[in-house]
């Protein structure tokens, strides 16, 4: 009865949301991503049994799989933390209505059980189980084992919400889950407690002795109750009305005075980056971006592909530029009206962003110098890429920003938050990443590595020389779309 | 000071504002009243060049508002919370606005110090970000920020809403003082007829985007306005 109402509300929320049409492309992308993962899991599930049999003819594939279940569970916990969110619904309007709180909570929790993340493992584990049964494993045992896998998946599902609720209260939101997963992994890795064996024995134990399946079921029920209590407590208005006192961390930003007129904007930008959840994560992404090269350079395959170095260089030295730049001026969307009615020069406002991005490229280049360990060519390519980033990409991304029409809520969590992402962000990637790759690649084939580096550097230098002219052009673009931006940013 | 001529704003075929002629002389405290959707905020947004006029223009101090940006140095405004920067503390916000308006920290400090009793000890030195303040306190901070840098034109949209009675009375004092003794042109919109008649020398009533009344404030004004709105309510 009530359930029907809830579902009806969500249906309307989805189809009547202001961004429905706009985010359709994004939804399609997500569907493709989902299909991709389903395909991978399905292939894995089908190929796993014969594959393991072939690779380890002496071992039992079932034992091997149970042996790695621990790592699978850890990976699942971490993945979910970043991707899955508790399917909250707007409860505020429901509170004064005659709907039992427990009903709302039960609905939200049960709905989460139907998450894509809980179905995905089935695509792998069901085919695997079929193989097991057809290879004369005990049918009832395998079915109970599969049931256990499903229950464990649900356990992770509800565990994740508990972790998330703690994580949302701490400063570094993803620290708890990393500590938890890393700690468990370390305990196992250094043989302090052999958790992998423990988990494996558990699964095999249940297979041999199906009655033991009661243990995970009890854990699941326990977690559900904890979640229920936690969520029910949060279902009061005062948790959202409560004034949370965040102590101000005022850093000394006097050094920005050296940049003259743009100093107030630089201070504002730095505070923006440091004090908001969404932007803060782009600082953490720096670290990931900086280490990005390690995925490639240690691999001997790439050592013979110098034309690829520039691409990695663009990415490593430009990670902040890309992350921060793609949402100019949406970062300031919350108070764009203020900026537009204040006594500011648009050019100074943009110049502050430029300076910040250029500085980040320089700093990241310096930090990426240790990559020289993998060959001096990498350093040269990174240098060329850094100059190109400063001279060309900064301007390209700011030009792209003048087409930005999507606002950003700075207070929302950042990881895998697609708010503010529109066609602009996807299209801008082409000139930003692929163009330098193409230029570098082509000159590399025609000439050689040195010429390619020189060409990229020269293009960057040209951009730096033309900086004033380009900025005037870009500024004009922003001024031209001023009314459209104000209008778009004031819509929810 | 502010001349409006042939100004109109339409969205599609729907006309939301049509002001043929409206002059606001320097140093006047000007009140704009009207029901929801009457066009008050639209007019203020046009004054600040936040939306583009469909026809006509506004001249502020002989400067075409939608053409040049030279009106910005002597104009300030607080329209809504989107004029606040949530991740700054009130002090930082004041300094930032101050810097944009060519004021140093000491200037800002001395201006803000005058409003200590207006703030009621809930704004300054709280070590809180603006986004964590209550709606009323946010409004106070926004209004005071609009006074930084000796503007000649101040635009306040619904300044009395969300404020507690004590603050409303103090704000009325501030507005009166600005217009009478400092020659500031001040534009205020409100739903509260009592407050505007208290504060403004002149009151213009907007209805469906058009001016229907233009009154010099005197003792009879409040009664006249009440009669007008009670009447239009019945229609």
Q: B 145-204 residues with CB below 8 A of A?
A: 149
Backbone angles phi, psi at A486, to 5 degrees: -55, -45
Which residue from A215, A473, A167 is spatially nearest to A346, judged by alpha carbons? A473
Whether residue A364 lies inside any domain: the answer is yes
Looking at the structure, tell me whether residues A189 and A309 fall in a common domain. Answer: no
CA distances from residue A58 to A52, A69, A133 in whole angstroms, order as listed: 10, 20, 19
Q: Is B54 on the interface with A (CB under 8 A)?
A: no
Check CB contact under 8 Å for B100 and A342. Answer: yes
Kindly state whether residues A236 and A353 are assigned to the same domain. Answer: no
CB B110 within 8 Å of CB B64: no
Among B52, B74, B82, B124, most A C-beta atoms within 10 A, so best to mutate, is B82
**A169 phi/psi in degrees, rounded to 5:** -90, -15
**Is A267's CB within 8 Å of B83's CB?**
no
- B-chain residues near A250 (CB < 8 A): 89, 92
Nearest to A341 among B77, B85, B86 (CB): B77
Compute CA distances A197 → A49, A67, A71, A76, whole Å: 20, 6, 11, 18
A341:B72 CB<8 A: yes
Same domain, A277 and A157: no
What's the domain count of chain A? 2
3-state class of A258 per DSSP? Answer: helix
What ipTM is given for this predicted complex? Answer: 0.86
A177 pLDDT higher than 70: yes
Element (H, E) at B162: none
The verdict on A236 and A310 lying in the same domain is no
B-chain CB neighbours of A243 within 8 Å are 132, 134
CB A371 within 8 A of CB A382: yes
Nearest to A334 among B48, B77, B86 (CB): B86
Does residue A234 sit in the same domain as residue A262? Answer: no
Cross-sheet strand order for the sheet of B29-33: B63-64, B55-60, B2-11, B14-24, B210-216, B202-207, B29-33, B185-190, B153-157, B75-78
Which of A21-25, A455-459, B51-55 is predicted with the least confidence, judged by mean pLDDT? A21-25
Q: Is B88 on the interface with A (CB under 8 A)?
A: yes
CB contact at 8 A, B44 and B28 = no
| Residue A248, min C-alpha distance to chain B (Å) | 5
Check whether residue A168 and residue A264 sit in a common domain. no
Nearest CA in chain A to B84: A335
Query: From CA B17, how far away is CA A99, in angstroms rounded?
Result: 44
Closest to A335 (Cβ–Cβ): which among B72, B82, B132?
A: B82
Q: Check whether residue A113 and residue A189 sit in a common domain.
A: yes
State whether A374 and A479 are in the same domain.
Answer: yes
A86 membership: H or E segment, kind and range? none
CB burial class (10 A; 0-12, 13-18, 19+) of residue B73?
Answer: middle
Which of A409, A399, A254 lies closest to A328 in space, CA to CA? Answer: A399
A483 in reach of chain B (CB within 8 A)? yes
What is the rounded distance in angstroms from the CA atom of residue B138 to the CA atom of residue B128?
11
By C-alpha distance, the chain A residue nearest B149 is: A343
Q: What is the pLDDT of residue B16?
A: 92
Total domains, chain B? 1
How many angstroms separate the CA atoms of A89 and A8, rounded? 12
Average pLDDT over every residue of A422-433: 74
Instruction: Give tens-digit pLDDT for A264-297.
Output: 888 888 888 888 877 777 777 777 788 888 878 8
The 3-state DSSP composition of chain B as helix, strand, coil percent (nearest 5) reads: 40, 25, 35
Count of residues making up chain A: 492
Q: Whole-number mean pLDDT of chain A?
A: 82
pLDDT band at A328 (very low <50, low <70, confident <90, very high): confident
Q: Which residues of A touch B149 (CB under 8 A)?
A: 343
Distance to chain B for A7, nearest Cα, Å: 33
Q: For residue A395, give every residue at least 6 positions away whose Cβ sits within 8 Å of its Cβ, in sequence order, or none.
A: A354, A463, A467, A470, A471, A474
Residue B104 touches chain A, beta carbons under 8 Å: no
Instruction: For chain B, give the percent of residues with pLDDT over 70.
Output: 98
| C-alpha to C-alpha distance for A248 and B225, rounded to whole angstroms | 47
Assess if residue A8 is contained within a domain.
no
Other CB atoms within 10 Å distance of the CB of residue A221 = 12
Secondary structure class of B95 (helix, strand, coil): helix
Closest C-alpha among B75, B65, B81, B43 to residue B147: B75
pLDDT, tens digit, 9 for 90 and up, residues B126-165:
888 888 888 889 999 999 999 998 899 999 999 998 888 8
Which chain A residues are closer than 8 Å to B129 by Cβ?
A: 246, 248, 275
- Determine how β-strand B14-24 pairs with β-strand B185-190: unpaired
Q: Is A187 in the same domain as A259? A: no
Do A297 and A374 share a structural domain?
A: yes
B96 neighbourhood in chain A, CB within 8 Å: 264, 267-268
B window 2-21, beta carbon within 8 A of A = none
A342 touches chain B (CB under 8 A): yes
A352 touches chain B (CB under 8 A): no
Q: Which long-range contacts (CB under 8 A, 24 or more apart) does A359-363 make?
A: A360/A286, A360/A320, A360/A321, A360/A324, A361/A317, A361/A318, A361/A320, A361/A321, A361/A386, A361/A389, A361/A390, A361/A394, A362/A386, A362/A390
Domain CATH number, residue B170: 3.40.50.300
Query: Is A395 inside any structural domain?
Result: yes
In angstroms, rounded to a whole number, what is the distance separating the alpha carbons of residues A307 and A451?
11
Interface A:B, Cβ pairs < 8 A: 85
Domain encompassing residue A117: 23-241
Closest by CA position to A265, among listed A339, A154, A371: A339
The beta strands (E) that lie in A93-133 are given as none
How far apart are alpha carbons A94 and A458 in whole angstroms?
Answer: 62
Helix (H) or strand (E) holding A390: none
Q: What is the mean pLDDT of residues A321-333?
A: 87
pLDDT tens-digit readout, A301-322: 777 777 888 888 898 898 888 8
Q: How many angstroms separate the CA atoms of A228 and A207, rounded?
A: 30
Put simply, the answer to whether B129 touches A248 (Cβ < 8 Å) is: yes
Minimal-distance CA residue of chain B relative to A340: B50
What is the C-alpha to C-alpha distance for residues B188 and B174, in angstroms, rounded to an integer? 13
Question: Number of helices (H) and strands (E), helices first, in chain B?
Answer: 8, 10
Q: Which helix (H) or strand (E) holds B60?
A: strand B55-60
A110 lies in the same domain as A202: yes
Answer yes or no: is A14 within a domain: no
pLDDT tens across B164-184, in order?
888 899 899 989 888 888 889
Its domain, for residue B200, covers: 2-234
**Chain B closest-CA separation from residue A345 CA (Å):** 9
Q: Which residues pair with B3 in a beta bridge?
A: B23, B59
In a domain, A274, yes or no: yes
pLDDT digits (tens, 9 = 90+) for A185-229: 888 888 777 888 888 888 888 888 888 888 899 999 999 999 888
- Residue A77 in any domain: the answer is yes
| B12-67 residue pLDDT tens | 888 999 999 999 999 899 999 988 888 999 999 999 999 999 999 999 999 998 88
């Amino acid at each position: 009865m009530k359930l029907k109402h809830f579902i009806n509300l969500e249906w309307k929320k989805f189809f009547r949301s202001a961004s429905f049409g706009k985010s359709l492309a994004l939804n399609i992308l997500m569907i493709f991503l989902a299909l991709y993962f389903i395909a991978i899991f399905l292939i894995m599930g089908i190929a796993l049994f014969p594959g393991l049999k072939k690779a380890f003819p002496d071992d039992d594939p079932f034992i091997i799989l149970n042996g790695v279940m621990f790592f699978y569970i850890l990976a699942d916990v971490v993945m979910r933390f970043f991707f899955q969110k508790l399917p909250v619904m707007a409860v505020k309007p429901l509170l004064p209505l005659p709907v039992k709180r427990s009903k709302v909570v039960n609905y939200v929790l049960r709905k989460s059980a139907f998450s894509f993340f809980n179905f995905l493992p089935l695509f792998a584990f069901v085919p695997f189980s079929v193989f097991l049964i057809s290879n004369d494993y005990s049918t009832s045992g395998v079915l109970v084992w599969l049931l256990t896998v499903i229950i464990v998946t649900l356990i992770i599902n509800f565990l994740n919400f508990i972790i998330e609720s703690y994580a949302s209260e701490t400063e570094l939101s993803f620290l708890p889950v990393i500590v938890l997963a890393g700690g468990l992994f370390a305990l196992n890795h250094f043989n302090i407690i052999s958790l992998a064996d423990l988990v494996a024995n558990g699964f095999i134990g249940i297979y041999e002795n199906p009655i033991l399946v009661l243990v995970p079921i009890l854990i699941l029920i326990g977690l559900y109750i904890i979640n229920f209590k936690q969520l029910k407590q949060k279902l009061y208005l005062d948790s959202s009305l409560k004034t949370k006192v965040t102590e101000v961390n005022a850093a000394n930003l006097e050094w920005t005075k050296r940049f003259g007129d743009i100093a107030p904007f630089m201070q504002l930008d730095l505070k923006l980056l440091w004090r908001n959840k969404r932007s803060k994560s782009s600082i953490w992404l720096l670290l990931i971006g900086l280490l990005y090269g390690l995925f490639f350079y240690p691999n001997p395959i790439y050592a013979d592909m110098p034309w690829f170095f520039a691409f990695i260089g663009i990415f490593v030295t430009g990670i902040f530029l890309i992350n921060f730049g793609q949402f100019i001026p949406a970062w300031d969307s919350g108070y764009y009206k203020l900026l537009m009615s204040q006594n500011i020069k648009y050019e100074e406002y943009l110049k502050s962003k430029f300076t910040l991005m250029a500085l980040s490229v320089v700093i990241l280049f310096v930090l990426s110098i240790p990559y020289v360990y993998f060959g001096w060519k990498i350093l040269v390519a990174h240098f060329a890429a850094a100059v190109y980033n400063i001279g060309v990409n900064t301007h390209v991304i700011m030009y792209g920003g003048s087409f930005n029409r999507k606002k950003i809520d700075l207070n929302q969590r950042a990881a895998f938050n697609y708010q503010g992402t529109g066609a602009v962000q996807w299209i801008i990637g082409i000139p930003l990443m692929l163009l330098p790759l193409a230029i570098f690649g082509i000159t590399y084939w025609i000439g050689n590595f040195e010429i390619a580096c020189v060409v990229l550097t020269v293009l960057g230098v040209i951009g730096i020389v033309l900086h004033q002219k380009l900025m005037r052009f870009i500024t004009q673009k922003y001024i031209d779309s001023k009314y459209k931006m104000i209008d778009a940013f004031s819509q929810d | 000071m502010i001349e409006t001529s042939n100004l109109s704003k339409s969205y599609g075929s729907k006309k939301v504002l049509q002001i043929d002629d409206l002059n606001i002389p320097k140093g006047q405290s000007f009140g704009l009243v009207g029901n929801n959707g009457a066009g008050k905020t639209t007019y203020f947004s046009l004054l600040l060049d936040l939306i583009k006029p469909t026809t006509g223009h506004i001249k502020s101090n002989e400067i075409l508002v939608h053409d040049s940006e030279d009106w910005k140095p002597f104009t300030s405004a607080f329209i809504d919370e989107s004029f606040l920067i949530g991740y700054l503390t009130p002090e930082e916000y004041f300094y930032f606005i101050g810097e944009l308006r060519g004021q140093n920290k000491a200037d800002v400090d001395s201006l803000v110090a005058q409003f200590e009793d207006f703030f009621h000890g809930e704004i300054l030195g709280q070590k809180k970000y603006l986004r964590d303040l209550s709606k009323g306190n946010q409004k106070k901070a926004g209004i005071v920020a609009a006074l930084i840098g000796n503007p000649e034109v101040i635009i306040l949209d619904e300044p009395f809403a969300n404020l507690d009675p004590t603050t409303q009375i103090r704000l009325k004092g501030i507005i009166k003082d600005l217009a009478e003794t400092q020659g500031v042109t001040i534009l205020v919109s409100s739903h509260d007829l009592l407050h505007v008649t208290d504060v403004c020398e002149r009151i213009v009533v907007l209805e469906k985007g058009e001016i229907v009344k233009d009154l010099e404030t005197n003792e009879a004004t409040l009664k006249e306005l009440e009669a007008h709105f009670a009447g239009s309510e019945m229609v």
